[in-house]
Amino acid sequence: MSLTGVPLILLAVLATVAAGFVTVWCWSRFGRQRMLVRTVGVLLSEALLVLSAGLIANRVDQFYPSWAALAGHTGAAATTVSRAAGRLDRTLHAGGAEIVPWQPSGATSWHLIGHASLVVPAGYASRRTTTFPVVLDLAGPHSAGDTVTVHLSPSAKTTAAALASLPAYLDRDVRVTTRGWAIVASMKDAVFAAELVKSAPGRFVALVLVGEGRPRPCGIAMAVVRRRAAGVPLPPGTTVLTGSGAQAWTVATDWAAGQTSPPLAASVQLPAEGVPSHRQATS
* Least CB distance to other proteins at residue 178 (A): 10
- Give the whole-angstrom CA distance, residue 218 versus residue 195: 8
Distance, in Å, from the CA atom of 84 to the CA atom of 123, rounded to the nearest integer, reads: 17
Q: Is 76 in the site for other proteins (CB under 8 A)?
A: yes
**Nearer CB in complex with other proteins: 53/94:** 53
Interacting residue with other proteins among 201, 214, 217, 247 (CB under 8 A): 201
Would you count residue 177 as binding other proteins (CB under 8 A)? yes
- Within 179-198, the residues that bind other proteins by CB under 8 A are 179-180
Residue 152 C-beta: closest distance to other proteins, Å: 23
Provide the minimum distance between the beta carbon of 110 and other proteins in the complex, in angstroms, as a whole number: 25
Q: Which stretch binds other proteins (CB under 8 A): 14-22, 150-158, 160-168, 266-274?
A: 266-274
Q: Where are the alpha helices (DSSP H) in 33-101?
A: 34-61, 67-70
Spatial distance between the Cα atoms of 57 and 215, rounded to a whole number of angstroms: 58
Residue 121 interacting with other proteins (CB under 8 A): no
d(C-alpha 85, C-alpha 82), whole Å: 9
Q: Is 49 in the site for other proteins (CB under 8 A)?
A: yes
CA dihedral 119, 81, 90, 86 (to 10 degrees): -60
* DSSP label at residue 146: S
CB of 113 or CB of 161, closer to other proteins = 161
Considering only 12-20, 105-113, 115-123, 258-266, which stretch makes contact with other proteins by CB under 8 A? 258-266
Quick check: helix, strand or coil at residue 132?
A: strand
- Output the smallest distance, CB 108 to other proteins, in A: 31
232 contributes a contact to other proteins by CB under 8 A: no
For other proteins, which is the closer residue by CB, 150 or 220? 220
Residue/partner pairs of 58-62 with CB below 8 Å, 24 or more apart: 58/3, 58/4, 59/4, 59/5, 59/9, 62/4
CB-side neighbour CA atoms (13 Å) of 144: 37
Site for other proteins (CB under 8 A): which residue of 122, 221, 231, 241?
221
The CA angle 91-102-186, to the nearest 5 degrees, is 130
Q: Work out which of 2, 10, 62, 240 binds other proteins, going by CB under 8 A.
A: 62
Q: Could you give the residue ranges of the DSSP H alpha helices within the chain? A: 6-26, 34-61, 67-70, 166-173, 190-199, 245-259
85 binds other proteins (CB under 8 A): no
69-77, 92-100, 167-175, 225-233 -> range binding other proteins (CB under 8 A): 69-77
Residue from 16, 52, 130, 149 that binds other proteins (CB under 8 A)? 130
Tell me how far apart the alpha carbons of residues 230 and 185 are, in angstroms, rounded to a whole number.
Answer: 20
Q: Kindly identify the residues of this chain, within the stretch 11-30, that bind other proteins according to CB under 8 A.
A: 27
How many Å apart are CA 95 and CA 192, to the nearest integer? 32
Residues in touch with other proteins (CB under 8 A): 27, 34-36, 38-39, 42-43, 46, 49-50, 53, 61-66, 68-69, 72-78, 80, 129-130, 146, 177, 179-180, 201-202, 205-206, 219-221, 237, 258-276, 279-283
